[in-house]
Chains A and B, each alone.
Chain A
């Protein structure tokens, strides 16, 4: 390049003055910029309108209820007595049950796909997990209500299955106690029927677990597969077994993805509506006994009560919805912060 410039600059003889590099976008570019910015503004406006409308309507109910909104268990907005103490507890318990079941499943599957599966079927397995995430929630609900509950978890008139087993042997943990009508139930008593174990928070949690496991799994798998090859080979070269390599290279690299995937799964589990609605029978008491009949969740409550609600009742439902939204928002932002910090090169700009 210098050889080409050389003779020219000699002939010019004057010192070079920096050229002004102001570029004026063409008309087409200006139109393009206007359109894209317009779309961005429209999206923002839509989202803010939704958020504003929800908050404004919800505030009506919250102001009317005062602090008791956070401590009341019952839900009778028309009578002025309503609160999210019971439904939010139920929502969180369903979410936690789901996560406790989903995370080991998702972790094992992610590890299998990224580390153990033959390369030939890896792509197929990834597709299968993604497909599992796309199966409609009403299908999971059907499965939970017609197969899981009557044939796997609460079988027969006696309700044989894991819930009864847990209630029998583990009832010293408050989580696994079972009451009916405020009276503790003795699961060893043959007269105890299976109905006390149906439609529980636990069963809803199992159904939701299957729904959130795929999303958790695919985030974990992605972060596992980003562990650098050189360090994997380094571990093998030092004589590590495969598990040794996974423990010393893959898991430290995937830690952020594991936490983030878990939280994202929790966010999904908290907002799940129709599958929970199909399985659980709504009951408004603050409790942590996940095995007994009855429980509640914010989204199932909204789906159940929206039709019969007055205008104020709708506001109250919106207040509950807003509380749920804030909860999932915090969980999701936490998740994406953790994932973003663990991942380098999210933007592939050179």
Chain B
């Protein structure tokens, strides 16, 4: 961090003669010894001081408080040390760097702690294979972890998210196409409404479907808490997210590509099918997968609409169904340690599922339109090498034939036939 701090400008020696002794090259990279010493010294002093405060002088306790006090002392002492041999602007610069580094570290540490804590507490349940292969229909809260599992919740999550995706993806993507391609005032209005709905808290989406079920029950006698109801609630929540993310990606497609296709005479649907969608395919996949990750992790809409079941139920239209986050929520509210362990196990499974989805999103997409993955880059490079070899071959043959043929007909007699007309950025 300190290596890049700019040194005060040095006076440049007047014209350097070519035969003058070579100046030793100044090191521009790497860490200076003084910087390391300042960090180490300030760190040691801060630790010692806060030890003194916490264990000798003041009646303070607590690991979190200790960390905060040590950090504050470290920043102060580090600033003091740097100020011994640097001007004030450098002191501010160093302190800002330290603060930015430690805040980033704190946040990433928090993420690691959250994930690791959940997986570590869940490990005791995950160790038993029956956790993945059986449900809780015949297992009571007091039975050990060797019986019962969360198969019902895993299947429930799968059923719900599949229905939700079937409802969300087609309509969401087409609506996003409409929003990004249409310039009408109506499209702008729809976009505003969609943006407004992204503000809808998920619990209210759940409450809406819950009230709808009750109304339907009163009116028609149908409708009950079911996986379908939960899937509808999840769709209500996911639809604006997917539309908005897809709309952003579609609007990133360069206008000149679309105009080029239109200039070549393509009708609008062909422009969309052959230029817009392929160019933004990875971004669209990312939009869908991130929407799925959000939907899978939502608890409150499912809590309000799906009921709670302890047995496998694959029929989404009737009977209560449970999802992984809801199972986590219900199980960890129990006072029994085994139930809590099961809840953590369900949370760990959910977390791993989200991690996998996230990794999938990053592998498939996460690139801007036209940006290629290393493999695609290699393929494109191989293709252009092939082309080059082909052109060279043509040129050589053309040169050989031109000595015999009439000059001027060369270009027509040897047309450069492109062997492939596929885009390179697929």
Best-buried of A25, A36, A106 by chain B (most CB within 10 Å): A36
Q: Which of B195-225 contact A (CB under 8 A)?
A: 195-205, 207-208, 210-212, 214
In the complex, A173 has a CB within 8 A of chain B: no
A125 to B328 alpha-carbon distance, docked (Å)? 29
In the complex, B231 has a CB within 8 A of chain A: no
Kindly list 6 other residue pairs between chains A and B, CB separation below 8 angstroms, not including A39-B171, A139-B328: A47-B194, A50-B236, A108-B99, A112-B100, A135-B114, A162-B64
Q: Is the CB of B304 within 8 A of A306?
A: yes
Q: Is the CB of B107 within 8 A of A348?
A: no
Who on chain A is nearest to B348 by CB?
A: A139
Q: Is the CB of B268 within 8 A of A106?
A: no
Per-position 1/0 for A37-54, Cβ under 8 A of B? 101101110111010011
In the complex, A241 has a CB within 8 A of chain B: yes
A153 to B293 alpha-carbon distance, docked (Å)? 30
Q: Is the CB of A46 within 8 A of B267?
A: no
CB distance from A35 to the nearest CB of B (A): 6
Q: Is the CB of A53 within 8 A of B211?
A: yes
In the complex, A138 has a CB within 8 A of chain B: yes
Q: Is the CB of B92 within 8 A of A139?
A: no
Q: Which of A297-350 contact B (CB under 8 A)?
A: 299, 302-303, 306, 311, 314, 317-318, 321-322, 324-325, 328-329, 331-333, 336, 346-350
Q: A36 with B177: in contact, given A109-B107, A143-B113, A241-B89 (CB under 8 Å)?
A: yes
Cross-chain contact of A314 among B100, B114, B211, B254 (Cβ < 8 A): B211
The interface stretch among A126-134, A197-205, A226-234 is A126-134
Q: Is the CB of B100 within 8 A of A32?
A: no
A144 to B17 alpha-carbon distance, docked (Å)? 69
CB distance from B227 to the nearest CB of A (A): 18
Cross-chain contact of A143 among B101, B114, B243 (Cβ < 8 A): B114
CB distance from B74 to the nearest CB of A (A): 15
A56 to B328 alpha-carbon distance, docked (Å)? 34
In the complex, B332 has a CB within 8 A of chain A: yes
Q: Is the CB of B267 within 8 A of A25?
A: yes
Who on chain A is nearest to B97 by CB?
A: A116
Q: A29 with B190: in contact, given A241-B92, A325-B200, A350-B255 (CB under 8 Å)?
A: no
In the complex, A96 has a CB within 8 A of chain B: no
CB distance from B171 to the nearest CB of A (A): 5
A50 to B300 alpha-carbon distance, docked (Å)? 17
A310 to B206 alpha-carbon distance, docked (Å)? 17
Q: Is the CB of B63 within 8 A of A242?
A: no
A276 to B196 alpha-carbon distance, docked (Å)? 23
CB neighbours of A33 from chain B (8 A): 268
In the complex, A175 has a CB within 8 A of chain B: no
In the complex, B84 has a CB within 8 A of chain A: no
CB distance from B179 to the nearest CB of A (A): 7
A343 to B96 alpha-carbon distance, docked (Å)? 26
Q: Which of B232-281 contact A (CB under 8 A)?
A: 236, 239-240, 243, 251-256, 259, 267-269, 272
Q: Is the CB of B201 within 8 A of A324?
A: yes
CB distance from B330 to the nearest CB of A (A): 10
Q: A273 with B201: in contact, given A128-B111, A131-B358, A346-B251 (CB under 8 Å)?
A: yes
Cross-chain contact of B121 among A32, A111, A146, A241 (Cβ < 8 A): A146
A274 to B65 alpha-carbon distance, docked (Å)? 28
Q: Is the CB of B190 within 8 A of A43?
A: yes
User: In the complex, which range does the number of interface residues on chain B fall in?
Assistant: 35 or more
Pairs A–B under 8 Å by Cβ, sample size 14:
A29-B269, A33-B268, A39-B178, A40-B190, A43-B243, A131-B111, A131-B358, A134-B294, A138-B325, A138-B350, A139-B351, A147-B117, A318-B207, A348-B252
Q: Is the CB of A116 within 8 A of B267?
A: no
Cross-chain contact of A136 among B1, B187, B354 (Cβ < 8 A): B354
CB neighbours of B358 from chain A (8 A): 127, 130-131, 134
In the complex, A155 has a CB within 8 A of chain B: yes
Q: A139 with B108: in contact, given A28-B269, A271-B202 (CB under 8 Å)?
A: no
In the complex, B386 has a CB within 8 A of chain A: no
In the complex, A137 has a CB within 8 A of chain B: yes
CB neighbours of A134 from chain B (8 A): 290, 293-294, 297, 354, 357-358
Q: Is the CB of A36 within 8 A of B178?
A: yes
Q: Is the CB of A32 within 8 A of B269?
A: yes
CB neighbours of A314 from chain B (8 A): 207, 210-211, 214
In the complex, B30 has a CB within 8 A of chain A: no
Q: A329 with B196: in contact, given A108-B99, A108-B104, A306-B304 (CB under 8 Å)?
A: yes
Q: Is the CB of B118 within 8 A of A142?
A: yes
CB neighbours of A346 from chain B (8 A): 251
A239 to B8 alpha-carbon distance, docked (Å)? 8
CB neighbours of B24 from chain A (8 A): none
Q: Is the CB of A318 within 8 A of B354?
A: no
Cross-chain contact of A241 among B5, B190, B200, B347 (Cβ < 8 A): B5
Best-buried of B5, B90, B114, B351 by chain A (most CB within 10 Å): B114
A329 to B189 alpha-carbon distance, docked (Å)? 15
CB neighbours of B268 from chain A (8 A): 25, 29, 32-33
In the complex, B93 has a CB within 8 A of chain A: yes
Q: Is the CB of A246 within 8 A of B179?
A: no
Cross-chain contact of B107 among A142, A165, A217 (Cβ < 8 A): A217
